[in-house]
Structure 1
């Protein structure tokens, strides 16, 4: 009986020793095998053997892409001295597990603290290069600059920074109203400038249209005067020709035109009927003495 108990005890001890010396690393991790006086070694995914603790210990390092999200918002100041509350998210992966173990001893909290400090410095440098308006409108450019700075700073930790994004960009409560008023004033100034520019352009269009209209009217008037002058010349030539053919009829026609222009319906005029102006009212020939002799009629 004692022999059986002893055999069971030996088997249990052997199993315990075997379980502490054989370990498996899955594809999502690598393992750091460390001892008290020796340099740590890297164990890639697969089955491995080590000395039992405390001679050697293993620390698993996750090699997948991970995200670090700061619990609290940090304050950053833009180049125009405006404070913003920002929550960054850092995407990274472990590129050198041995460097990470040397820097943090495999402690996740130490890694979080280091990343928080490095990201705060990188974002602080980035925001200091942008005005408030640019920080809000060119956020991708800002985060790319922060990523490049953080990537260089995190390389000694064995960390490869893949990206930086901002989940919150806000104003501190004590500054929000002041900033909103300043932004509103800036937008109003831009609107006023746009309206002034539009009014100037509209006036320019009106002035151009007025100049073109005046030029067209002047040209049309010039052409009309030329046509009128040509017509008056032809009319004068026709009148002169008609006067030459029958001076008596021309005088009669001119007198009729003068009567038409001088008298209107309902007018009462007191004049001397013997005036020369009325000679064609007294006689169709203007002067009885000038009437042609009657032509004798033939029977």
Structure 2
């Protein structure tokens, strides 16, 4: 009898524990959840934390609320000028409406990706259809130069396309997916753009020709600018030299005039000494040993008068 009572108590405690455990559930910070009653949604967006439900009556579905990535397969698109490009892209998406997400996909992440992928392909096809191949190739070249790497002939990083190029398809797809699937499309990015073999060579030959034409134009403009700078410099040099010569002649004339004034004053103070001093300077300059000049003079000429007499007076022969 005691054993039957103990077993009953244990059974009751087990049932109570099961009911308590089944009545509580936890939603993590990284999750979004909904509550169902016999398959009907009764609570559409349960916040993170500890919650309660009726055992057997209620079912809780949880979904990953973090940002997820969909790596789309490479697709072949035609540009506005009917050139083919092979584009490899990826999509960042996130659940924002658990009720709509569950109703559209039954909570299956793979089904959600199967619904998102063709819509991404459609938006990218439309976006590349409005671009010229030359615009795409030019953006690829700019990205390669910024990364200081040699661009490969057929492969390039997603930065090859300007960010604003993907803004329109991202916004369009986001608006559609919010209402249809309850998910937000956060970003669409191109990982790589490949040019088919039949297009690559022609494209890069054209790029090379365009760069050569630009280089020739820059060289011609540089030569023209160089000639203009040289002509301007020559003109300025001539003007500066003319001004300098004029200034030097003016200064020289002023110096000569001042020297003449000084000589005249000195001459008036002592004429004999002045003549004697000037004659000594003339002798020094004339008899300089380093000079190779030759003079033929009569020894009795006035030039040698101070050799004949200290006073410079003429003497009888």
Task: Identify the TM-score tier after normalising by the shorter chain.
Answer: 0.5 to 0.7
Give matches, 1:244-263, under 5 Å: none
Give matches, 1:127-138, under 5 Å: 127-136=128-137, 137=139, 138=161
1:194 to 1:9, Cα distance in 2 relative to 1, 3 A: same
Is 2:68 aligned against 1:48?
Answer: no
Give matches, 1:136-147, under 5 Å: 136=137, 137=139, 138-147=161-170
The two structures have a TM-score, normalised by structure 2, of: 0.57
Query: In 2, Cα distance between the equivalents of 1:107 and 1:118?
Result: 18
Query: In 2, Cα distance between the equivalents of 1:13 and 1:20?
Result: 10
Is 2:171 aligned against 1:148?
Answer: yes
- Could you tell me whether the CA contact under 8 Å between 1:29 and 1:62 is conserved in 2? yes
Query: In 1, Cα distance between the equivalents of 2:102 and 2:16?
Result: 31
1:49 to 1:202, Cα distance in 2 relative to 1, 3 A: closer
Query: In 1, Cα distance between the equivalents of 2:215 and 2:27?
Result: 69
* Per-residue deviation, 1:185: 2.4
Larger Rg: 1
Is 2:205 aligned against 1:182?
Answer: no
Query: When the two structures are aligned, how many residues end up with a matched partner?
Result: 207
Q: Which residue of 1 aligns with 2:97?
A: 96
1:169 to 177, 180, 193: 193
Give matches, 1:171-210, under 5 Å: 171=195, 175-176=196-197, 178-194=198-214, 197=217, 201=221
- Could you tell me whether the CA contact under 8 Å between 1:127 and 1:142 is conserved in 2? no
* Per-residue deviation, 1:32: 0.6
Query: In 1, Cα distance between the equivalents of 2:81 and 2:127?
Result: 13
Give matches, 1:62-141, under 5 Å: 62-70=64-72, 72-136=73-137, 137=139, 138-141=161-164
The two structures have a TM-score, normalised by structure 1, of: 0.60
1:105-134 CA-to-partner distances (Å, cap 9, x unmatched) read: 211111111121221111111111112232
* Per-residue deviation, 1:23: 0.6
Structure 1, gaps ≥5 residues long: 217-299
Q: Which residue of 1 aligns with 2:12?
A: 10
Q: Which moved more, 1:77-86 or 1:151-160?
A: 77-86
User: Any idea what SS the aligned residue of 1:164 has?
Assistant: strand
* Per-residue deviation, 1:14: 2.3
1:198 to 1:63, Cα distance in 2 relative to 1, 3 A: closer
Structure 2, gaps ≥5 residues long: 140-160, 236-317
User: Any idea what SS the aligned residue of 1:124 has?
Assistant: helix
1:4 to 1:206, Cα distance in 2 relative to 1, 3 A: closer
